[in-house]
Protein backbone atom coordinates (compact mmCIF):
# COMPACT_ATOMS: atom_id res chain seq x y z
CA UNK A 1 0.00 0.00 0.00
CA UNK A 2 1.28 3.47 -0.89
CA UNK A 3 0.36 6.22 1.56
CA UNK A 4 0.80 9.80 0.35
CA UNK A 5 0.41 13.16 2.00
CA UNK A 6 1.11 15.94 -0.45
CA UNK A 7 1.52 19.67 -0.03
CA UNK A 8 -1.06 22.03 -1.47
CA UNK A 9 -0.63 22.16 -5.24
CA UNK A 10 -1.46 24.98 -7.62
CA UNK A 11 -4.81 24.44 -9.36
CA UNK A 12 -4.36 27.07 -12.09
CA UNK A 13 -4.34 24.31 -14.70
CA UNK A 14 -6.67 21.94 -12.85
CA UNK A 15 -9.89 23.72 -11.95
CA UNK A 16 -12.46 20.99 -11.39
CA UNK A 17 -15.36 23.45 -11.39
CA UNK A 18 -15.41 25.02 -14.89
CA UNK A 19 -18.50 25.87 -16.99
CA UNK A 20 -17.71 25.28 -20.64
CA UNK A 21 -20.23 24.30 -23.34
CA UNK A 22 -19.09 21.45 -25.51
CA UNK A 23 -18.56 22.57 -29.05
CA UNK A 24 -19.95 19.98 -31.42
CA UNK A 25 -22.09 16.88 -31.61
CA UNK A 26 -21.87 13.62 -33.51
CA UNK A 27 -24.66 11.18 -34.34
CA UNK A 28 -23.92 7.50 -33.73
CA UNK A 29 -26.05 4.98 -35.61
CA UNK A 30 -26.08 2.25 -32.88
CA UNK A 31 -27.91 4.55 -30.47
CA UNK A 32 -30.62 7.15 -30.39
CA UNK A 33 -29.00 10.55 -30.04
CA UNK A 34 -30.31 13.74 -28.55
CA UNK A 35 -28.60 16.88 -29.78
CA UNK A 36 -29.00 18.79 -26.54
CA UNK A 37 -25.96 20.67 -25.28
CA UNK A 38 -23.84 18.98 -22.61
CA UNK A 39 -22.44 21.61 -20.29
CA UNK A 40 -19.63 21.57 -17.78
CA UNK A 41 -18.11 24.36 -15.78
CA UNK A 42 -15.72 26.69 -17.61
CA UNK A 43 -12.07 27.16 -16.66
CA UNK A 44 -10.12 24.02 -17.58
CA UNK A 45 -6.75 25.23 -18.86
CA UNK A 46 -4.99 21.99 -19.77
CA UNK A 47 -3.00 22.50 -22.97
CA UNK A 48 -4.49 19.37 -24.53
CA UNK A 49 -8.00 20.54 -23.72
CA UNK A 50 -8.71 22.78 -26.69
CA UNK A 51 -11.78 21.01 -27.93
CA UNK A 52 -14.03 18.27 -26.58
CA UNK A 53 -17.09 17.05 -28.42
CA UNK A 54 -20.12 16.26 -26.30
CA UNK A 55 -23.07 14.09 -27.14
CA UNK A 56 -26.16 13.06 -25.18
CA UNK A 57 -27.35 9.66 -26.26
CA UNK A 58 -29.59 6.73 -25.46
CA UNK A 59 -28.07 3.26 -25.36
CA UNK A 60 -30.28 0.24 -25.89
CA UNK A 61 -33.83 -0.03 -27.15
CA UNK A 62 -37.23 0.70 -25.69
CA UNK A 63 -37.77 0.36 -21.95
CA UNK A 64 -34.31 -1.16 -21.52
CA UNK A 65 -32.49 1.90 -22.90
CA UNK A 66 -30.56 4.26 -20.63
CA UNK A 67 -29.24 7.77 -21.07
CA UNK A 68 -25.55 8.64 -21.21
CA UNK A 69 -23.10 11.41 -22.00
CA UNK A 70 -20.13 10.85 -24.27
CA UNK A 71 -17.15 13.21 -24.06
CA UNK A 72 -14.69 12.90 -26.97
CA UNK A 73 -11.32 14.57 -27.25
CA UNK A 74 -10.83 16.27 -30.60
CA UNK A 75 -7.23 17.34 -30.21
CA UNK A 76 -4.78 14.51 -29.48
CA UNK A 77 -7.51 11.86 -29.31
CA UNK A 78 -5.73 8.59 -28.53
CA UNK A 79 -8.68 6.47 -29.68
CA UNK A 80 -9.21 4.84 -26.28
CA UNK A 81 -12.62 4.44 -24.66
CA UNK A 82 -13.19 4.86 -20.91
CA UNK A 83 -16.38 4.03 -19.03
CA UNK A 84 -16.94 6.33 -16.05
CA UNK A 85 -19.38 5.18 -13.35
CA UNK A 86 -20.84 7.92 -11.19
CA UNK A 87 -21.45 8.17 -7.48
CA UNK A 88 -25.00 8.13 -6.10
CA UNK A 89 -25.69 11.64 -7.44
CA UNK A 90 -25.79 10.36 -10.99
CA UNK A 91 -24.43 11.10 -14.43
CA UNK A 92 -25.85 14.63 -14.62
CA UNK A 93 -24.08 15.80 -11.46
CA UNK A 94 -21.76 18.70 -12.29
CA UNK A 95 -18.78 17.27 -10.38
CA UNK A 96 -18.99 14.00 -12.30
CA UNK A 97 -19.32 15.74 -15.66
CA UNK A 98 -16.45 18.11 -14.84
CA UNK A 99 -14.23 15.12 -14.05
CA UNK A 100 -15.28 13.28 -17.21
CA UNK A 101 -14.59 16.39 -19.27
CA UNK A 102 -11.11 16.66 -17.85
CA UNK A 103 -10.35 13.00 -18.51
CA UNK A 104 -11.46 13.54 -22.11
CA UNK A 105 -9.16 16.56 -22.28
CA UNK A 106 -6.28 14.13 -21.86
CA UNK A 107 -7.13 12.41 -25.13
CA UNK A 108 -9.87 9.90 -24.22
CA UNK A 109 -13.44 9.10 -25.21
CA UNK A 110 -15.40 8.99 -21.95
CA UNK A 111 -18.88 7.51 -21.61
CA UNK A 112 -20.87 8.41 -18.46
CA UNK A 113 -24.08 6.32 -18.21
CA UNK A 114 -27.18 6.95 -16.13
CA UNK A 115 -26.76 4.13 -13.60
CA UNK A 116 -29.95 5.08 -11.77
CA UNK A 117 -32.33 5.40 -14.72
CA UNK A 118 -33.42 8.95 -13.97
CA UNK A 119 -33.60 8.48 -10.20
CA UNK A 120 -30.26 9.49 -8.64
CA UNK A 121 -30.01 10.29 -4.96
CA UNK A 122 -30.72 13.98 -4.33
CA UNK A 123 -28.94 15.89 -1.61
CA UNK A 124 -32.15 17.39 -0.24
CA UNK A 125 -33.85 14.03 0.29
CA UNK A 126 -34.31 12.94 3.93
CA UNK A 127 -31.39 10.70 4.91
CA UNK A 128 -33.64 8.04 6.49
CA UNK A 129 -34.91 7.30 2.96
CA UNK A 130 -31.45 6.49 1.61
CA UNK A 131 -31.46 2.73 2.24
CA UNK A 132 -34.93 2.44 0.70
CA UNK A 133 -33.70 4.29 -2.39
CA UNK A 134 -30.52 2.21 -2.57
CA UNK A 135 -32.49 -1.04 -2.37
CA UNK A 136 -34.23 -0.06 -5.61
CA UNK A 137 -30.86 0.17 -7.38
CA UNK A 138 -30.43 -3.57 -7.63
CA UNK A 139 -26.91 -4.70 -8.44
CA UNK A 140 -28.20 -7.07 -11.12
CA UNK A 141 -30.02 -4.30 -12.99
CA UNK A 142 -27.04 -1.94 -12.64
CA UNK A 143 -24.69 -4.70 -13.82
CA UNK A 144 -26.88 -5.33 -16.86
CA UNK A 145 -26.84 -1.63 -17.74
CA UNK A 146 -23.05 -1.45 -17.38
CA UNK A 147 -22.71 -4.53 -19.60
CA UNK A 148 -24.95 -2.91 -22.22
CA UNK A 149 -22.80 0.24 -22.18
CA UNK A 150 -19.65 -1.85 -22.38
CA UNK A 151 -20.92 -3.60 -25.49
CA UNK A 152 -21.70 -0.22 -27.06
CA UNK A 153 -18.17 1.00 -26.33
CA UNK A 154 -16.64 -2.20 -27.67
CA UNK A 155 -18.55 -1.70 -30.93
CA UNK A 156 -17.48 1.95 -31.15
CA UNK A 157 -13.82 1.76 -30.17
CA UNK A 158 -12.53 -1.82 -30.09
CA UNK A 159 -14.34 -3.60 -32.94
CA UNK A 160 -13.44 -0.65 -35.15
CA UNK A 161 -9.77 -1.32 -34.45
CA UNK A 162 -9.26 1.99 -32.67
CA UNK A 163 -8.44 0.57 -29.24
CA UNK A 164 -7.50 -2.89 -27.97
CA UNK A 165 -9.10 -2.57 -24.53
CA UNK A 166 -11.30 -0.16 -22.58
CA UNK A 167 -10.61 1.51 -19.25
CA UNK A 168 -13.09 1.91 -16.40
CA UNK A 169 -13.27 4.51 -13.61
CA UNK A 170 -15.78 4.82 -10.78
CA UNK A 171 -16.53 6.92 -7.72
CA UNK A 172 -18.20 5.73 -4.50
CA UNK A 173 -21.12 3.53 -5.64
CA UNK A 174 -19.59 3.46 -9.12
CA UNK A 175 -16.18 2.65 -7.66
CA UNK A 176 -17.61 -0.52 -6.15
CA UNK A 177 -19.24 -1.47 -9.43
CA UNK A 178 -15.87 -1.09 -11.16
CA UNK A 179 -14.67 -4.11 -9.19
CA UNK A 180 -17.83 -6.10 -9.91
CA UNK A 181 -17.50 -5.40 -13.62
CA UNK A 182 -13.79 -6.23 -13.83
CA UNK A 183 -14.32 -9.50 -11.97
CA UNK A 184 -17.13 -10.44 -14.35
CA UNK A 185 -15.26 -9.31 -17.47
CA UNK A 186 -12.01 -11.21 -16.78
CA UNK A 187 -9.99 -8.98 -19.10
CA UNK A 188 -12.11 -9.49 -22.21
CA UNK A 189 -13.22 -5.87 -22.64
CA UNK A 190 -11.38 -3.89 -19.97
CA UNK A 191 -7.62 -3.65 -19.64
CA UNK A 192 -7.37 -1.48 -16.53
CA UNK A 193 -9.48 0.12 -13.79
CA UNK A 194 -9.52 2.92 -11.23
CA UNK A 195 -11.75 2.81 -8.15
CA UNK A 196 -12.12 6.03 -6.17
CA UNK A 197 -13.29 5.24 -2.62
CA UNK A 198 -15.50 2.41 -3.86
CA UNK A 199 -18.34 1.27 -1.62
CA UNK A 200 -19.91 -2.15 -1.05
CA UNK A 201 -16.92 -4.02 -2.47
CA UNK A 202 -16.95 -7.76 -1.89
CA UNK A 203 -13.32 -8.84 -1.18
CA UNK A 204 -13.97 -12.30 -2.63
CA UNK A 205 -15.12 -10.68 -5.87
CA UNK A 206 -12.14 -8.32 -5.92
CA UNK A 207 -9.79 -11.30 -5.58
CA UNK A 208 -10.92 -12.61 -8.96
CA UNK A 209 -10.04 -9.44 -10.91
CA UNK A 210 -7.42 -10.21 -13.55
CA UNK A 211 -6.38 -6.72 -14.74
CA UNK A 212 -4.53 -3.87 -12.97
CA UNK A 213 -6.65 -1.80 -10.58
CA UNK A 214 -5.73 1.43 -8.84
CA UNK A 215 -7.61 2.11 -5.60
CA UNK A 216 -7.65 5.74 -4.42
CA UNK A 217 -9.07 6.59 -0.99
CA UNK A 218 -8.64 8.70 2.12
CA UNK A 219 -7.83 7.28 5.54
CA UNK A 220 -10.74 9.22 7.08
CA UNK A 221 -13.45 7.55 5.03
CA UNK A 222 -15.74 5.13 6.91
CA UNK A 223 -17.52 4.22 3.65
CA UNK A 224 -14.31 2.82 2.13
CA UNK A 225 -12.09 1.51 4.95
CA UNK A 226 -8.40 1.44 4.14
CA UNK A 227 -8.11 -1.88 5.97
CA UNK A 228 -10.48 -3.48 3.45
CA UNK A 229 -8.39 -2.17 0.55
CA UNK A 230 -5.24 -3.51 2.20
CA UNK A 231 -6.77 -6.96 2.37
CA UNK A 232 -7.74 -6.77 -1.30
CA UNK A 233 -4.21 -5.74 -2.18
CA UNK A 234 -2.76 -8.68 -0.24
CA UNK A 235 -5.06 -11.21 -1.89
CA UNK A 236 -4.66 -9.92 -5.45
CA UNK A 237 -2.25 -11.33 -7.96
CA UNK A 238 1.20 -9.80 -7.60
CA UNK A 239 1.47 -6.36 -9.15
CA UNK A 240 -2.16 -6.06 -10.27
CA UNK A 241 -3.51 -3.96 -7.41
CA UNK A 242 -2.17 -0.66 -6.11
CA UNK A 243 -3.68 1.25 -3.20
CA UNK A 244 -3.10 4.99 -2.88
CA UNK A 245 -4.18 6.49 0.46
CA UNK A 246 -4.35 10.21 1.21
CA UNK A 247 -3.94 11.04 4.87
CA UNK A 248 -6.71 13.06 6.47
CA UNK A 249 -9.05 12.83 3.49
CA UNK A 250 -12.61 11.56 3.60
CA UNK A 251 -15.17 10.42 1.07
CA UNK A 252 -15.40 12.18 -2.29
CA UNK A 253 -12.33 14.41 -1.99
CA UNK A 254 -10.92 13.60 -5.45
CA UNK A 255 -13.89 14.56 -7.61
CA UNK A 256 -15.75 17.03 -5.39
CA UNK A 257 -13.10 18.79 -3.25
CA UNK A 258 -14.47 21.12 -0.58
CA UNK A 259 -11.33 22.87 0.73
CA UNK A 260 -7.88 24.02 -0.43
CA UNK A 261 -6.37 20.93 1.21
CA UNK A 262 -8.74 18.66 -0.70
CA UNK A 263 -7.99 20.61 -3.89
CA UNK A 264 -4.31 19.73 -3.59
CA UNK A 265 -4.91 16.07 -2.95
CA UNK A 266 -7.56 15.93 -5.70
CA UNK A 267 -4.98 17.26 -8.15
CA UNK A 268 -2.41 14.69 -7.04
CA UNK A 269 -4.96 11.88 -7.30
CA UNK A 270 -5.92 12.97 -10.80
CA UNK A 271 -2.30 13.00 -11.97
CA UNK A 272 -1.66 9.52 -10.56
CA UNK A 273 -4.82 8.25 -12.26
CA UNK A 274 -3.85 9.91 -15.54
CA UNK A 275 -0.44 8.23 -15.55
CA UNK A 276 -1.99 4.88 -14.58
CA UNK A 277 -4.41 5.01 -17.50
CA UNK A 278 -1.81 6.22 -19.96
CA UNK A 279 0.70 3.52 -19.05
CA UNK A 280 -1.91 0.76 -19.12
CA UNK A 281 -4.05 1.76 -22.09
CA UNK A 282 -2.11 4.04 -24.41
CA UNK A 283 1.45 2.78 -24.07
CA UNK A 284 0.13 -0.76 -23.90
CA UNK A 285 -1.56 -0.58 -27.31
45 in any annotated domain: no
42 in any annotated domain: no
Please determine, for residue 265, whether its predicted confidence score (pLDDT) is greater than 80: yes
Query: Which residue from 248, 153, 137 is spatially nearest to 191, judged by alpha carbons?
Result: 153
24 in any annotated domain: no
Quick one: average pLDDT of 161-182? 92
pTM: 0.83
Of 41-55, 167-181, 220-234, 254-268, the least confident? 41-55
Of 18-27, 85-94, 232-241, the least confident? 18-27
141 in any annotated domain: yes
29 in any annotated domain: no
Beta bridge partner(s), residue 111: 70, 83
- Residues of the domain holding 270: 52-282
Task: Confirm if 40 and 18 have CB atoms less than 8 A apart.
Answer: yes
Tell me the per-residue pLDDT of 109-159, one tens digit each, with 9 for 90 and over. Answer: 999 999 999 999 998 999 999 999 999 999 999 999 999 999 999 988 876
140 in any annotated domain: yes
CATH number of the domain that residue 88 is part of:
3.40.50.1820
If residue 30 lies in a helix (H) or strand (E), which one and from where to where? none
Of the ranges 44-53, 220-229, 237-246, which is most confident? Answer: 220-229
- CB atoms < 10 A from the CB of 232, how many? 24
Domain count of the fold of the chain: 1
168 in any annotated domain: yes
20 in any annotated domain: no
Ramachandran category for residue 9: left, alpha or beta (phi over 0 → left; psi -120 to 50 → alpha): beta
Burial class of 147 by CB neighbour count within 10 A (0 to 12, 13 to 18, 19+)? middle
Amino acid sequence: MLTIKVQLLSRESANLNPRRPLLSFTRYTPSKVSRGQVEVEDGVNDEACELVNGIELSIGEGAESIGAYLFKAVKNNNGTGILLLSDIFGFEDSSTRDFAYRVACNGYNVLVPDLFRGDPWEKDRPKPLFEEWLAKQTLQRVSNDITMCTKWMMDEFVAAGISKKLGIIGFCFGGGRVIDMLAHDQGVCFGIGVSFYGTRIDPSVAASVTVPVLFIAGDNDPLCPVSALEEIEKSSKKGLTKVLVFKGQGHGFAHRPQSPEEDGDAEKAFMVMRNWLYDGLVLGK
